[in-house]
Amino acid sequence: MSLTNIPLRTTVIGSYPFPCWLEHAAQHLDDFAQDDIAEMQDDAVVAAIHDQMAAGLDVISDGEQTRLDFNLSFYGFLEGIEMESRSPRAFGPPAHDQRGKHTITSELKAPMGLGSLDEYLRLKRLAPATGPVLKMSVPGPYTLSGRLTPGSMYTDRWAVTEALLPIVRKELESLVEAGCQEICVDEPSMSCYAYREDPLRFVDIFNRTVESVRGKTRICTHLCFGNYKARAVGPRQYAPMFPAFFQMHADEIHVEMASREFSELELIGEIAKYTEVAVGIVDVKSYYIETPLDIAARVRRCLHYVAPDKLSFSTDCGLSQTARWAAKRKLRSLVDGVKIVRAEL
Ligand SMILES: [Zn+2]
C-alpha cells in the first residue's frame, strides 16, 4: 500500500536515543509511581517528536521512548516466560551475548497485546494532527524469538516463532484498526541469519505474519545486520537473502547501506521491481556527521537504480545506540541532503 507520492521520502527506522534524564530515570524506576512514569513517557515522546519534526522528516515514530525496561518491553507483555536475570557474559567489550534471555515456562500468550497499540495512541495524541506520517515498529516473530529460551514447552526457535506469529499478527491488526498508516515489521534476525538458514522459510513466516493486514496499511520491513551497542552480527551481505526475499509481502524493504560503504547497492534496483525501497544512507555507528552534500551524492547514486517515487531514505538502523546530539545532526543532514536532490528532479 502506497500512501504518499512524495518522491525521495525521508523516513525513520523507529528507535531514537533516550534523553539523558530518561536514561537516569529508567535505572531508578522504582522511585517513581505509575502516574510519574506515564508523565515521563509522554515527555520523552514529545522530545523525540520534536527532534524528528525539527529535522523535517516526512515520516516519524515515537522513538520507542517508552520501552524503558523489561516490564515495558514486548517481553513484559508475554505470559509464559520467566525473566532471566543474568546475561552469559558480564564483563568485557560490549556485544549481543551481554543481553539476558528469558526462559519459556508455559504456553506463550499475550492477552493484553504487546503494548504497541498504546504506543501508537500516545504518538497520535502528542504528534501534530496534520503533519508527518506516523510509523510504528513491531518486531517480527522470528526476531522476537531470539531472546527466548524454548525450555521444555517448545522444541526449538522455529516452534517459538510459530507460537509468537499469531500474537504479532494480532498486534498488527490492532494497530490497523486504530488507524495506523505505516507499520515496520522488523526482522533483522532474518537478515543476520539468512546465510545459514533457508531464506524461503523466513519469507513464509513473514508473509503469514502480515497476511491479514496486507493492503490495509503500509507494511515495511527493516533488514539490517544488528546494531546492539553498535555491533553487527553475521556476515554483512544481502546476497544470501535473495532472490527469496523478493517474495516478501512488504510495501517497502529497507536495507542498510551506509555502514557497508554501499556494497551491493545494485540490489535496490532488483528490489524495486517488486516493491518500494528504503535505503539507509546515514551511518548510525559512525560519529562522522554526514553533510547534506554527502547525503545528496548518496541519493544520486541510488537514483541510478530506482525511480524517485519508489525510493525512501533513512538511517541504516534505529538511532537508539547513537548519542542524541549526533542523532539530531544526522537527521537534519539526511533531510537537507535529500531536499537538494529533490529540487533537481
Ligand atoms: Zn536495525
pLDDT value of residue 118: 97
Q: What distance in angstroms lies between residue 186's CA and the mean position of ligand 1's atoms?
A: 8
Q: What distance in angstroms lies between residue 278's CA and the mean position of ligand 1's atoms?
A: 13
Q: List the grid coordinates of 75.
A: 517481553
Please state the domain extents for the chain: 9-87+97-344
| Mean pLDDT in residue range 289-296 | 98
What is the residue type of 141?
P
This prediction has a pTM of 0.95
Q: What distance in angstroms lies between residue 216's CA and the mean position of ligand 1's atoms?
A: 25
Residue 249 and residue 212 in contact, taking contact as beta carbons nearer than 8 Å: no
Tens of pLDDT, residues 70-119? 778 899 999 999 987 678 898 999 998 888 889 999 999 999 999 999 99
Query: On the CB side of 75, how many CA atoms lie within 13 Å of its CA?
Result: 19
Question: Nearest Cα to 115, choosing from 166, 43, 49, 66?
Answer: 66
**Protein residues with C-beta less than 5 angstroms from the ion ligand 1:** 188, 224, 227, 317
9-87+97-344 CATH fold:
TIM Barrel (3.20.20)
Tens of pLDDT, residues 113-160? 999 999 999 999 999 998 999 999 999 999 999 999 998 999 999 999
